A and B are shown apart, each in its own frame.
Chain A
Amino acid sequence: MSRLTAESVTLAYDQRVIAENLSVAIPDRSFTVIVGPNACGKSTLLRALARMLKPVAGSVLLDGAAIGSYPAKQVARTLGLLPQSSIAPDGITVGDLVARGRYPHQGLLRQWSREDERIVTESMAATGVDALADRHVDELSGGQRQRVWIAMALAQQTPLLLLDEPTTYLDIQHQIEVLDLCAQLHEEQGRTLVAVLHDLNHAARYATHLIAMRDGSVVAEGAPGDVVTAELVEQVFGLRCQVIDDPETGTPLVVPAARRARAGAALQK
C-alpha cells in the first residue's frame, strides 16, 4: 500500500522539463531512498512529493486525492519535509525552534497545548538534543544543528517524512549519526521515510526500498540487495565497479573499479 504516489507526473522549472511521465509509489512504512547522478531529477521529485513543486501534468496523490486539494495545514499534519537548507532565526533557542514544528497543529486560540509540550520534549529526546534545549541554534555544530531540524520535523508528528539530502555538508561521523537516527525513527516509530541521498553506499545500507533515477526517469526500484548490481551502477552513474557484500551489514557495497581498469574498458569500446 502507498499513501503517497506520483502518477505520471511531468515536472518542470519554468520551461525546463526535468522529468516526464514519471510514476513513483512510496511503500508505506518503508525507508525509501532516491539515488541518482546530479541533475537526474531526484530532488525535483522529492519537491513534487512534498507539494513544493506543482506538476505540469499528472498528479501527486496523498491518500488517493491530489495533494494540492487538501488545506495546507492538513497536509502538514500528514507529511513533513526536511528542506535542504533552512534558516535558523537570529538568537532562537533549540527548544523554541523544535516547538515551531507544532505549527500545523496550532491555531490562534490553541497556541501551546500540553500535547504540544509533551511531543516537543519527546522529539528532542528522540534526536538527542534535549540537553541542548536552552542553547542558541547558531552556536551548535553542523551535526547538532541537523539533528535539531530533524527534531523539528519530528515534532510535526507526521506519518510521512521527506528528507532532502539530510547528510550534505556533514562530515562522515555526523552523516552516519543522522542516518542512524533516520533508521531508528523508521524502525521504532514506524514512520515512512523518503530521503534523497548522494552516497550510494549509504543508500544501500540504510534503505529498505531504493529508487534509482537517471535523466528524469526511474531506472530500477526495489530492495537494495536486488537493485544494486554492477550493471545498474554502470547504467545509472556510468561508473564501472564491483559490488561486494558490506562486511558489516551484508548489504551491497559499491567499489569503483581502479582507474587503469576503467581506462582499459574505455579503450576496448
Chain B
Amino acid sequence: MSLSPRTVRAVRTVRTSGGLSLRVDARAALVVLLLLAVAAAASVALIATGDFPMSPADVLRTLAGGGTPAQDVVVHDLRLPRVLVGLLAGACLGLAGAVFQSVSRNPLGSPDVIGFGQGSAAGALVVIVLFHGDPFAVAAGAVAGGVVTGLAVYLLAWKKGINGYRLVLVGIGAAAVLTGLRDYLMTKADLVDATRSMIWMVGSLNGRDWEQVWPLLCAAAMLLPVVLGNGRALRMLEMGDDAAHALGVRAERTRLVVTACAVLLTAAATAAAGPVGFVALAAPQLARRLTRAPGPGLLAAAAMGATLLVGADWASQRLFGADKLPVGALTGMLGGCYLLWLLFTERKAGRV
C-alpha cells in the first residue's frame, strides 16, 4: 500500500457567543481571494488595451471618476461593460460547470458537453435565421434554447431519479442532435445571417455594452445565493443518494434546484457572450486542483471562470490585436488541450 503524504487541511472556525459558527477552509479562501485579485488585474489590463491605449493608472483614475472626458467615454461606455460581461459570464459558467460536474459525478458533465451550450446556440440561430431578430431577440432565443434543452435532457435522463452517467450520455446525444439542427439552419441562412450566426456562435465579448450587463447581473445575483445555499447539501450528495438521504438531504429536490439554477446561469451567460467554450468544463477542475479540497468548490469555480474568461480575452487582444480573435476561439483551443490532458491523466489513474 502506498502512502501519500498526509495533508492536514487548515480549517478555521469562527464562533460567536450567540452559538453561531462558520467554517472557513483557509486554503480555499486564499485561492478565491487570489483568483479575484488576478481577475481584477486582468480586468484593468483589458480595459487598458485597445485602439485607444491607456496606462493601468489612467484606468484606475478614470474608474474612480478622475479621467479626461475621452477616457471617460472609452472606459465607461465601451470597455467597462465588456469586462463586466466577461467577469459575470465567466463566473456563471464556472459555477454552472461545478454544479453539473458535481451532480453528474463526472468531470465531463459540463454544459458545453451535455448540450446546453448547443441548445442556446440553436435557439439563437432560430431567431437569427428564421426571424432575422434583433440582438435582444437573439439573446432571448439563446435563453429559451438553453432552458428547453436543459428540461429535455433532465426529463430524458430521468428514471426514478437522475443518474450522473445517464445525464452525460443523454446530454451528449442532445448535443449531437442540436449540432445537426444548427448546421441545417446554417444551410438555410443567407450570407448576412450566416455570418452573423458564425460570429455569435464562437462566443465573443466584442462590443458588449450595458444592455448585456444588467440582465446578466440580475440573473447572477438571484441564482448565485440559491446555488451557494445548496452547496452543503450538494457536498453530501457526492457520497451517493443513500448516504445523503441518511443525513437528511432531500436528494432529488436539491438536484433539481441546483440543476435548474445551473441551466439558467448557462443560458444567461450564453445569451450575453455567446457559447464561450470550455470555461464551464475547465474552471471547476482547475479551481479544484488549486484548492485541493474534496467536493465542489463553488465559489472557487466561479472565481476561476471569471478569471479565465477575462484573462483569455485580454490574451487574445494582446496576441491577435483588438477585436480580431473572439475570446471563444481562444478558450476553445485552450479548453481542448485541457480536455486532452484531463483524459490522459484520468486514463493513467485508471478512471476512463
Residues of chain A having any CB pair with chain B under 8 Å:
14, 50-52, 71-77, 80-93, 96, 100-101, 103-104, 106, 108-114, 116-117, 134-136, 139, 141, 153, 156
Q: A89 to B238, Cβ gap below 8 A?
A: yes
Is A83 in contact with B248, judged by CB distance below 8 angstroms? no
Can you show 12 pairs from A to B with CB atoms below 8 A apart?
Answer: A50-B245, A52-B242, A76-B248, A81-B242, A83-B242, A86-B242, A89-B238, A100-B235, A110-B19, A111-B22, A112-B11, A139-B2
Q: Which residues of the other chain, A, contact B248 by a CB distance below 8 angstroms? A: 71-77, 103-104
A123 to B260, CA, bound (A): 37
- Chain B nearest CB from A193 CB (Å) reads 14
Cα A217 to Cα B7 with chains together (Å): 50
Q: Is the CB of A76 within 8 A of B8?
A: no
Question: Are A156 and B247 closer than 8 Å at their CB atoms?
Answer: yes
Bound CA–CA A113/B22 (angstroms):
8
Q: Is A139's CB under 8 angstroms from B4's CB? A: yes
Give min CB distance, A72 to chain B, whole Å. Answer: 4
A113–B4 contact, CB under 8 A?
Answer: no
Q: Give Cα A81–Cα B8 distance, bound, in whole angstroms.
A: 28
Q: How many residues of B contact A (CB 8 A)?
A: 37
Cβ–Cβ contact B246 & A109, under 8 A: no
CB distance B294 to A153 under 8 Å?
A: no
Q: Are B3 and A139 within 8 A (Cβ)? A: yes
Q: Check B21 against A110 for contact (C-beta < 8 Å).
A: yes
Q: How many A-B residue pairs have CB under 8 A?
A: 104
Is B15 engaged at the interface, CB distance under 8 Å to the other chain?
yes
The 9 A-B residue pairs with the shortest CB-CB distance, nearest first, are A76-B248, A83-B242, A73-B248, A81-B246, A92-B294, A86-B243, A104-B248, A111-B23, A89-B294
Q: Which of chain A's residues have a CB closer than 8 A to the CB of B239?
A: 86-89, 100
| Residue B114 interfacial (CB < 8 Å) | no
A116 to B19, CA, bound (A): 12
A74 to B, closest residue via Cβ = B248
Write the nearest CB–CB distance from A253 to chain B, whole angstroms: 33
Is B176 an interface position by the 8 A CB rule? no
Is there an interface contact between A113 and B19, defined as CB atoms closer than 8 Å?
Answer: yes
Residue contact A76 to B238, C-beta cutoff 8 Å: no
Return the contact of A100 from the options B9, B22, B236, B240 (Cβ within 8 A): B236
Contacts of B221 in A (CB 8 A): none
Q: Which of B6, B235, B245, B292 contacts A52 (CB 8 A)?
A: B245
How far, in Å, is A12 (CB) from chain B's closest CB? 12
Contact: B246 with A50, CB < 8 Å? yes
A103 near B250: Cβ-Cβ < 8 Å: no
- B188 adjacent to chain A (CB < 8 Å): no
